[in-house]
Structure 1
Amino acid sequence: MTNPENHAEAAELTRDEIASLHEPVLIDEVLDLLAPAFTGVEIATMIDATLGMGGHTEAVITAFPNVRVIGIDRDPNAIRLASKRLESFGERFKAVHATYDSVYEVAEENGLAGKIDAVLMDLGVSSLQLDDDERGFAYSRNTYLDMRMDPTQGITAAELLATASAAELTRILRTFGEEKFASRIARNIEKQRETKPIETSLELTEIVRASIPAAARRQGGNPAKRTFQALRVAVNEELDILADAVPAALESLKVGGRLVVESYQSLEDRIVKNVIKDGSEINIPPGLPVIPDHLKPSLENVTRKAIQATEEQIADNPRAASVRLRAATIIRPYEAPTRIRRKR
């Protein structure tokens, strides 16, 4: 697809055309997990912390007539398209341009800190970004290596490749992409940029391919997948933001409120899983006859094991293949152990 931000014809996109650009993953399961948070509430509020093109928000507003949604996204193009898609819902939808670790501040600005009924997060790169040839997220098409989810802020992937040391690139590829051949790829990137900047996805893909032994290239799909993931995570500070965002979301919720998160890679899922685990366990000294209130768990772990897509769901929507869906309910006011409140 072309970038609607930069093309006049996008102004003519209809609601249905915008909706066709993205199919929400595991939407029935998400709605089932959210339903208890809205039951018996006259006017409920959900924060969709990763609005994208508004597919999840539209499904929620349609399924639950008592729910209004505040949608957050760092991508101004997503805000514009989702707002057009959801304009028929009037005051039941409000969009906010921010990163999703600002979820508590967004709740606070709306007078709802600690009073939100549900927070939904659909993590990772969106279809809008992945399918846009001008954004540089895809290794299967030759595009400029931008990779910023908010194209108005921060450095591009091409700029990162031009400035980071081989040691730093190795750390990024190994930590964020779990790439076994990180040091080889980093050394070859450093060597290549001595003669020519690495600015396109094809140039980077060729370096990665040449850095990985032939036997390893025959397994696991495109060998550049892990490198592209790692650079995207680094450029957008995704894991740092997520580590702040999950506690912030829980702190935004009222007792009985629910957090629902869809993750698409193990590093994301591990952060979500660990925060929920820490908040739902009882850690008390042996032999203590009564559990003090401050030691009681704040969370109920609704999904003990992450929900995954079925083969049929994956066939219908291939992007569901790696999804891990988790949920937790607030049973006592949640206090984040540590959290940096970022100013928007």
Structure 2
Amino acid sequence: MTAGRGEEQTLAAGGPARHLPVLRDEILAALNPKGGEVFLDATFGAGGYTRAILSIEGTRVLAIDRDPTAIAAGQDLVIEAQGRLTLVRGVFSALESIAQAQGIAHFDGVVFDIGVSSMQIDDATRGFSFRYDGPLDMRMECAGPSAADLVNGEDEARLADILYYFGEERASRRIAKAIAVERARAPFTTTMRLAETIAAAAPAKPSAIHPATRSFQALRIAVNDELGELVKALVAAERMLGEGGRLAVVTFHSLEDRIVKQFFASRSGHGEARSRLLPGEPERPVPTFIVPAKQPVLPSETETRRNPRARSAKLRFATRTAAPARAAEPALALLAQLPPEKIKSTKRATPKQRGG
């Protein structure tokens, strides 16, 4: 999904890393780091955005990653940054408590790069990709239930819902049925067998993406609760940003972007249209963010040629106002969840829409 959070060029904080961060220059422009300011890189990966921020003399960064391999790989950069970088393992929804444990009361900027990194995709042992045969894992934290547990343990209807809502897979019911038949013969343990089962159930046109792409995305999102984490993290970032603080978020598919777009819309006062206030109708909340026009920002043709994984990236950014932070709207939280049973029974897509 993502192009990784690494770096090709040498910056002030150290030598080259393995991957190229998406929209790096645009992220720097949105964050506008200055000496003496403190930033949060909530998705450290290979450290590309962190390096870019640290290239500005006098900046400090707290970086978070839920993947223990990223934390281990980042220790050289911690040393090279000479006290300006703190790297902590954790989920970004816990950014507030992580920051407070480090004695940080607020940030001047926060950046998120949502999704799976190139390091994870390219490591067959992590099970994120079907390009290589590997264990059916997909756990960013290397702990908890895996994709194999989900594929082998969820009932067929629930599995179809996961593929449909998190992967936007129109053939979800057909794929879920094929998985149920195959797992009855033998449990799924490898990425290749699952991909082959999906391809046989819902073959793609020659020019289309691989038929397993959306299903693998859906399983990864479900295993790691990625959308739920994103909603919590955006709200936590709002609480931790001081007035004038900058929030920048890079997403790679429509589900993530929809959440970020609606968050910024509601927080900037440009959410759902409302008629003139009637007597007794509550006033709109004071905006907590100012969102500049001409968004989202997309990668240039030059960048996508150099890094094809960047082609689906979208950057949205905003500046914090002095208004008090707010809780997540119920409508925003619902975007991160499968519909509850009573909604599914009345608003579920038709069999034709869902590949039945």
* Interval of TM-score (by shorter of Structure 1 and Structure 2): 0.7 to 0.9
CA deviation profile, 1:282-341 (whole Å, cap 9, x unmatched): 6887379xxx9983211101254201112211011111100000101001234132399x
Match of 2:215 in 1: 227
Match of 2:117 in 1: 126
Match of 1:159 in 2: 149
Match of 2:335 in 1: none
| Contact map agreement 1:124 1:264 (CA 8 A) in 2 | yes
Alpha-carbon separation, structure 2, partners of 1:160 and 1:82: 31
More helix by share: 1
After superposition, the Cα gap between the structure-2 partners of 1:180 and 1:60, relative to the gap in structure 1 and judged at 3 Å, is same
Match of 1:255 in 2: 243
| Contact map agreement 2:163 2:218 (CA 8 A) in 1 | yes
- SS of the residue 2:214 aligns to: helix
2:182 to 180, 184, 192: 192
CA deviation profile, 1:154-205 (whole Å, cap 9, x unmatched): 1111111110110111011001100010001101101001111111111011
Match of 2:48 in 1: 55
The answer to whether structure 1 residue 150 and structure 2 residue 141 are counterparts is yes
1:318 to 297, 308, 321: 308
- SS of the residue 1:91 aligns to: coil
Match of 2:75 in 1: 83
The answer to whether structure 1 residue 29 and structure 2 residue 33 are counterparts is no
Structure 2 unpaired stretches of 5+: 1-13, 331-356
Q: CA deviation at 1:274?
A: 0.6
The answer to whether structure 1 residue 44 and structure 2 residue 37 are counterparts is yes
Percent identity of paired positions between Structure 1 and Structure 2? 38
The answer to whether structure 1 residue 135 and structure 2 residue 140 are counterparts is no
| Contact map agreement 1:161 1:198 (CA 8 A) in 2 | yes
Alpha-carbon separation, structure 2, partners of 1:328 and 1:136: 35
1:171 to 161, 170, 175: 161
Q: CA deviation at 1:85?
A: 2.9
| Contact map agreement 2:95 2:236 (CA 8 A) in 1 | yes
Alpha-carbon separation, structure 2, partners of 1:236 and 1:121: 16
Alpha-carbon separation, structure 2, partners of 1:220 and 1:49: 33
TM-score (norm 2): 0.83
Q: CA deviation at 1:123?
A: 0.8
The answer to whether structure 1 residue 275 and structure 2 residue 266 are counterparts is no
The answer to whether structure 1 residue 295 and structure 2 residue 288 are counterparts is no
Give the paired residue count: 312
Q: CA deviation at 1:211?
A: 0.9
Alpha-carbon separation, structure 2, partners of 1:246 and 1:159: 29
Alpha-carbon separation, structure 2, partners of 1:278 and 1:139: 38
- SS of the residue 1:295 aligns to: coil
Q: Name which of structure 1's ranges 25-34 and 85-94 shifts more when overlaid on structure 2.
A: 85-94
CA deviation profile, 1:206-226 (whole Å, cap 9, x unmatched): 11111114xx43343211110
CA deviation profile, 1:101-137 (whole Å, cap 9, x unmatched): 1111122223333x21000101100111111111011
Structure 1 unpaired stretches of 5+: 1-14
| Contact map agreement 1:303 1:326 (CA 8 A) in 2 | no
- SS of the residue 2:99 aligns to: helix
CA deviation profile, 1:246-304 (whole Å, cap 9, x unmatched): 1111111000001001000110011111111100016887379xxx9983211101254
Alpha-carbon separation, structure 1, partners of 2:172 and 2:276: 45
The answer to whether structure 1 residue 105 and structure 2 residue 97 are counterparts is yes
Alpha-carbon separation, structure 1, partners of 2:29 and 2:163: 37
